[in-house]
């Protein structure tokens, strides 16, 4: 169950009855059933509640599964719950765990989640009937309450489920996962100024209380990292309030790749690019070894692709473009699986990995890079099966075409063909944006909605950037409008969700700085580059701009200090 979804998705209504008799294959996917039993990970277990099952193995698998849910490794969590059911087919909390592991709407395993919900509600109903008949209850009240809240989460209202989990946590304070889920489902967000909403402030306060109660509990520590993944830098001190927990958790559980990834995310946000590079490398290596050991590919291990994408971004920000491109090309070489069009691995390849080389070229911006970017895209035949799929067509093809139109506009600007650039921007590029926006409601019912949402947000940034570039290089009387367009692009550039790297790698403050340099306003350019460095701390592109502005302002000593910082970021090993 992934934390930090950028936009709320519509959940399908869960039918609480299944006509045919229950069999285990309704809950356990055939591929999972054929896999070896999953590895126990006792070091990451933070569950304090007892699990009602006569099987010690089932209880252990369930506890590890819950830990993996909170670590956002959903497929491995699902495997653990399935392993528990292989030991005890009536383990109520195992069905509950399957539901949470597969909670994301419209995922390819959704039918197994629906069957798990039906089965656990049937078990609760049977137990209630047993009690009414004068028999001893089989499942304790705490488990039945957890089941009902979980069923509400996936079939009715997440916020209502959050309130149910809250009441459970108040009644049973040791039930850590109920308290965490309550915070997650009732949390807020951040306003346009970067300040937390009242709901988010309460979520932060309640999680801090849990941290005080359980300072070494892996589930609580992992949740604290997830809760703050998208927090603006202005609202929290990452180095003081987050990084110590991320480092402790990664050290305590060195074999959990998703927590290595979380560490990399926060090292990246703090500008510690070498440490971020190391963490993402460890995460990718752990995922890679897991795939090899378990005999699976990226279909069921999107975390590998996510870590590699973030690694490439990290290398780029520290000035290692060629190393970043090497990683990007390795990802681009991974083949899509036409048999599983909606798998998490396919989705992240389509929306992230396959456009990564082009987006790196866009950010790099050297002579010929726009042509290289265009050549890096997948061809229509490569995407046809997924774009024209009768049941689950992807919009990633439209996104790729939009990026191609963006590149066409950039090429026209480079060639000083400003009339053509304006037409390409307003009539071609924006046509793709409109095409994506028109299907927003339908996209909410697709497996790749979070990718669609983030891609659309990135296109909105590129739209404002193109308008600014066309104005800056166009007619004299329109050039002053460029700064407004670049400010708009800057204001749209938020933090990527779900611990993903930003799709747009250039801080848009840099574009504003370039405009100021073009009109000779060196101090304003310095201020803009400094703001860009604040957005992505220690990014080399902004620091090079800062150095140049300082030199233009005659502040050579300060420029030399910045150069030393650049050298350290680029060469530290």
Q: What is the DSSP string of 35-83?
A: SPPPPP-GGG----S----S-HHHHHHHHHHHHHHHTT-HHHHHHHHHH
pLDDT higher than 60, residue 5? no
Measuring CA to CA, which residue among 274, 339, 336, 272 is closest to residue 305?
A: 336
Q: Mind listing the pLDDT tens digit for each residue in 406-455?
A: 999 999 999 999 999 999 999 999 999 999 999 998 888 888 999 999 99
- Short-list 366, 342, 345, 343, CA closest to 354: 345
pLDDT of residue 3: 52
Mean pLDDT over each residue of the chain, to the nearest integer:
94
pLDDT of 446: 87
**How far, in Å, CA of 489 to CA of 469, rounded?**
11
Residue 370, token pair as written in the block: 């726009």
Q: Is the pLDDT of residue 391 over 70?
A: yes
Give the pLDDT of residue 15: 45
Residue 4: pLDDT band (50, 70, 90) is very low
Nearest to 97 by CA among 52, 150, 137: 150
pLDDT tens digit sequence for 216-240: 999 999 999 999 998 998 889 999 9
Q: Mean pLDDT across the stretch 468-487? A: 94
Q: Which long-range contacts (CB under 8 A, 24 or more apart) does 188-194 make?
A: 189/230, 190/230, 190/231, 190/232, 190/235, 194/232, 194/233, 194/234, 194/235
Quick: pLDDT tens for 71-117.
999 999 999 999 999 999 999 999 999 999 999 888 899 999 999 99
Helices (H), 214-269: 218-227, 243-252, 257-269
Cβ contact 437:456 at 8 Å: yes
191: its two tokens:
């306003």
The mean pLDDT value for 181-188 works out to 95
Q: Provide the total of helices (H) and of strands (E) in the chain, helices listed first.
A: 29, 0
Q: How far is CA 145 from CA 92, 103, 139, 167, 532, in A?
A: 11, 18, 10, 9, 49
Please state, in angstroms and rounded to a whole number, the distance separating the CA atoms of residues 242 and 221.
Answer: 10
Please report the pLDDT score of residue 155 as a whole number.
Answer: 87
Residue 18 has pLDDT above 60, yes or no: no
Length, in residues, of the chain:
573
Three-class SS string for 291-325? HHHHCCCHHHCHHHHHHHHHHHHHHHHCCCHHHHH
Which residue in this structure is represented by tokens 């520290």?
318
In tens, the pLDDT along 320-339 reads: 999 999 999 999 999 999 99
Whether 363 has a pLDDT exceeding 50, the answer reads: yes
pLDDT of residue 19: 59
Quickly tell me which residue has 């959903």 as its tokens.
74
Average pLDDT of the segment spanning 258-265: 97
| Residues in CB range of 495: below 8 A, 6 or more apart | 229, 230, 231, 232, 502
| pLDDT at position 2 | 62
Kindly give, in sequence order, each residue whose CB lies less than 8 Å from that of residue 479, ignoring residues fewer than 6 positions away: 471, 472, 519
Between 54 and 234, the higher pLDDT residue: 54
Greatest distance between any 2 Cα atoms in the chain: 89
b/e per residue 349-360 (b: at least 16 CB within 10 A): bbbbbbbbbbbb
pLDDT of 7 over the 80 cut: no
| Tokens encoding 180 | 């965490």
* pLDDT per position as a tens digit, 278-315: 999 999 999 999 999 999 999 999 999 999 999 999 99
Task: List the structure tokens of 520.
Answer: 């000779």
Give 316's pLDDT tier (boundaries 50, 70, 90): very high
């Amino acid at each position: 169950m992934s934390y930090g979804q950028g936009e709320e998705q519509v959940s399908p209504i869960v039918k609480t009855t299944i006509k045919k008799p229950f069999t285990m294959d309704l809950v356990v996917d055939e591929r999972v059933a054929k896999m070896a039993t999953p590895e126990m990970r006792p070091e990451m277990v933070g569950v304090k509640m007892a699990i009602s099952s006569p099987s010690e193995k089932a209880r252990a698998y369930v506890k590890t599964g819950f830990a993996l849910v909170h670590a956002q490794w959903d497929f491995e969590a699902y495997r653990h719950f399935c392993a528990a059911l292989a030991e005890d087919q009536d383990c109520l909390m195992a069905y509950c765990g399957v539901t949470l592991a597969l909670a994301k709407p419209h995922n390819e395993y959704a039918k197994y989640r629906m069957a798990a919900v039906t089965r656990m509600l049937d078990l609760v109903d049977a137990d209630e009937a047993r009690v009414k008949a004068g028999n001893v209850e089989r499942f304790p009240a705490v488990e039945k309450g957890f089941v009902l809240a979980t069923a509400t989460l996936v079939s009715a209202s997440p916020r209502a489920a959050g309130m149910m989990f809250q009441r459970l946590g108040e009644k049973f304070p040791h039930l850590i996962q109920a308290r965490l889920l309550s915070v997650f489902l009732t949390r807020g967000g951040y306003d346009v100024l970067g300040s937390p909403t009242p709901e988010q402030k309460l979520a932060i306060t309640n999680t801090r209380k849990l941290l005080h109660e359980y300072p070494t509990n892996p589930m609580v520590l992992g949740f604290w990292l997830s809760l703050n993944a998208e927090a603006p830098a202005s609202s929290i001190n990452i180095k003081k309030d987050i990084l110590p927990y991320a480092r402790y958790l990664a050290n305590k559980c060195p074999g959990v790749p998703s927590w290595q990834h979380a560490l990399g995310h926060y090292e990246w946000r703090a500008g510690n690019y070498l440490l971020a590079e190391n963490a993402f490398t460890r995460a990718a290596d752990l995922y890679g070894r897991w795939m090899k050991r378990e005999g699976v590919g990226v279909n069921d291990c999107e975390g590998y692709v996510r870590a590699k994408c973030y690694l490439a971004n990290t290398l780029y920000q520290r000035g290692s473009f060629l190393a970043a491109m090497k990683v990007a090309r390795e990802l681009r070489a991974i083949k899509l699986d036409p048999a599983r069009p909606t798998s998490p691995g396919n989705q992240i390849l389509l929306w992230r990995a396959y456009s990564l080389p082009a987006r790196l070229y866009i950010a790099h911006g050297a002579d010929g890079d726009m042509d290289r970017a265009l050549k890096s895209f997948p061809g229509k035949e490569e995407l046809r099966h997924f774009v024209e799929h009768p049941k689950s067509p992807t919009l990633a093809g439209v996104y790729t075409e939009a990026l191609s139109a963006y590149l066409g506009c950039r090429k026209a600007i480079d060639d000083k063909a400003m009339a053509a650039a304006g037409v390409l921007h307003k009539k071609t590029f924006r046509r793709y944006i409109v095409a994506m926006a028109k299907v927003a409601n339908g996209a909410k019912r697709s497996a790749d909605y979070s990718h669609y949402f983030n891609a659309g947000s990135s296109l909105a940034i590129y739209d404002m950037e193109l308008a600014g570039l066309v104005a800056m290089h166009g007619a004299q009387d329109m050039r002053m409008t460029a700064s407004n367009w670049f400010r708009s692009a800057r204001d749209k550039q938020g933090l990527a969700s779900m611990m993903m790297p930003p799709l747009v790698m250039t801080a848009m403050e840099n574009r504003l700085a370039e405009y100021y340099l073009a009109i000779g306003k060196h101090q304003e350019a310095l201020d803009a580059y400094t703001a860009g460095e604040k957005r992505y701390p220690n990014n080399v592109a902004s620091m090079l701009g800062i150095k140049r502005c300082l030199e233009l302002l005659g502040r050579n000593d300060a420029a030399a200090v910045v150069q030393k910082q650049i050298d350290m970021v680029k060469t530290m090993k």
